[in-house]
Amino acid sequence: MVQIPALEYTPVDDIPQLVSKVRAGFRTHKTKPVEYRLKQLRKLYWGFKDNEAELAEACKRDLGKSNFETYITETGWCKNDILFVCRNLEKWAKDESAPDIDLMNKFFAPKIRKDPMGTVLVIGAYNFPVQLSMGPMIGAIAAGCSCILKPSESAPAAAAVMQKIIRESLDPSCYDCIQGAIPETTALLDQKWDKIFYTGGATVGTIIAKKAAETLTPVALELGGRNPAIVTKHANPHLAARRLLWAKFMNAGQVCVSQNYIMVDQEILPLFLKEVEKTLKEFFPQGAKASPDYGRIANVKQFQRLKKMLDESKGRIIFGGTMDESDLFLEPTVVQVDDPKDSLLVDESFGPLIPIYVTKDLDEAIAMANEIHDTPLGIYPFGNKKETARVLNETQSGGASINDGFYHASIPTLAFGGVGTSGTGAYRGKSSFDVFTHRRSVTTTPAWIEGMLSIRYPPYAGKLDKF
Ligand code: NAD
């Protein structure tokens, strides 16, 4: 039987001292040698391996995740990220020479050092509780920062296992995991940080950004979705249905980067809906409730929010719609919505509800995507090359997957992040290192060059003519 430690919130009064401890750790400079960072990352890797069963059980308890989903989106994901970072860290951490310099400036050896930003705070979200907490923390360790993680209290089992892994694997003088909800996070935000990396909704993102602004602390914000998918009349309806349903029903729709709504060209709608029906039967042959592969909503608050959204929508349920609060089960639900202002379209559902809006052509779909949210986290056009290129050209988004749902977010070497109100700052691959690194420009002026430098000193009379 796998044992999951109970989640215990960190006493608020202990927080200043815990933060001071990791700040003091950073000030010893021990996090700076690449060998130290690699050692921490390797220990973390083994921490993951040793606790893989605990993490799988925790994600099952918190979100009803299947072991398969936990492996590909949480534990396997983080282990691969660590291996990728370890393979490349030496190269990334090296000084860079200044590009395109003239002969004179070469004498000053201009270069960029990759300095750690310092002591950083990572605040995670609940939907991929491991990936969204440990992913940024891996970047912070790689960059040579000391770091405190505050996982989401809405995934309590995963939060408790991560704390165990961090405390058992990493140098306690430089890394810690603090648990809690709003009071504890507020106490953390009252401390001085060198960077805050937050993943979650825009409302809390705004609180974090305001608080950080008081001390001019830089932030990376990975925020919410409201992402459109567009299915044009030239799209392959079979592929569009399979790929979009996969993207939406993973983790019971609690995926920031999956499509929030689908706009389907009127010409292809009947074929598309037929494929949706076929796909639902194929993915969940005994129905989603009986399927070991379909997750649950994280908690009653989220469940009731989703139920209210569905109740208040004027759309027609075409597939699904059943729910069971006692099991936090919400069936994959497809709703046809006619009102472009329906809250199912304009608000983020962050659950297994797919509103479909029928468009008369691509012009209407692009206009509507820009109207609902001009800077979503992702956009997913399905169609021919000309159509999908047009969508990219005439919209903005954090990322995009052409003819797929959010695949761009699963490429480990591609930077992941939002734009505008879907976020600022990106991570994954080298970007996870960069986001916690200060590129410090440095020159070294040799003594022998003083004669050549005399031109820069006053008095300036007659010197301008020499240029
Ligand atoms: P959440 O409930 O997990 O909260 C996120 C974090 O904010 C938690 O650690 C929580 O303790 C903290 N928090 C909550 N209220 C706070 C307050 N008043 N002050 C300080 N801290 C506070 O997650 P959520 O915000 O409900 O997550 C859902 C949202 O996150 C969705 O909008 C989703 O799209 C977005 N999200 C974005 C990404 C991304 O990578 N861009 C990933 C996952 C989720």
Give the integer Cα–Cα distance in Å for 147 and 172: 10
Percent of the chain surpassing pLDDT 70 = 100
Amino acid at 132: L
The mean per-residue pLDDT over the stretch 49-53 comes to 96
The mean per-residue pLDDT over the stretch 122-142 comes to 97
| Predicted local distance difference test score (pLDDT) of residue 265 | 98
Give the integer Cα–Cα distance in Å for 446 and 465: 26
Average pLDDT, the chain: 96
| Predicted local distance difference test score (pLDDT) of residue 467 | 80
Instruction: Give yes or no for residue 466 having a pLDDT over 90.
Output: no
This prediction has a pTM of 0.95
Percent of the chain surpassing pLDDT 90 = 97
Residue 177: active-site member? no
Residue 35: active-site member? no
| Predicted local distance difference test score (pLDDT) of residue 44 | 98
Whether 252 and 295 have beta carbons less than 8 Å apart is answered as yes
Cα 232 to middle of ligand 1, angstroms: 33
Question: Could you tell me if the CB of 150 is within 6 A of ligand 1?
Answer: yes
The mean per-residue pLDDT over the stretch 306-323 comes to 96
Which of 63, 197, 204, 250 has the most ligand 1 atoms within 8 A of CB, as the residue to mutate? Answer: 204
Q: Which of the residues 57, 184, 222, 348 is marked catalytic?
A: 222
Question: Could you tell me if the CB of 350 is within 6 A of ligand 1?
Answer: yes
pLDDT digits over 211-252, tens only?
A: 999 999 999 999 987 999 999 999 999 999 999 999 999 999
Q: HSE-up of 146 (CA within 13 Å, CB side)?
A: 23
Tokens in use for 418?
């939002």
Instruction: Give yes or no for residue 165 having a pLDDT over 90.
Output: yes
Cα 154 to middle of ligand 1, angstroms: 9
Instruction: Give yes or no for residue 1 having a pLDDT over 90.
Output: no
Q: Ramachandran region of residue 225, left (φ > 0), alpha (ψ -120 to 50) or beta?
A: alpha
The mean per-residue pLDDT over the stretch 389-416 comes to 96
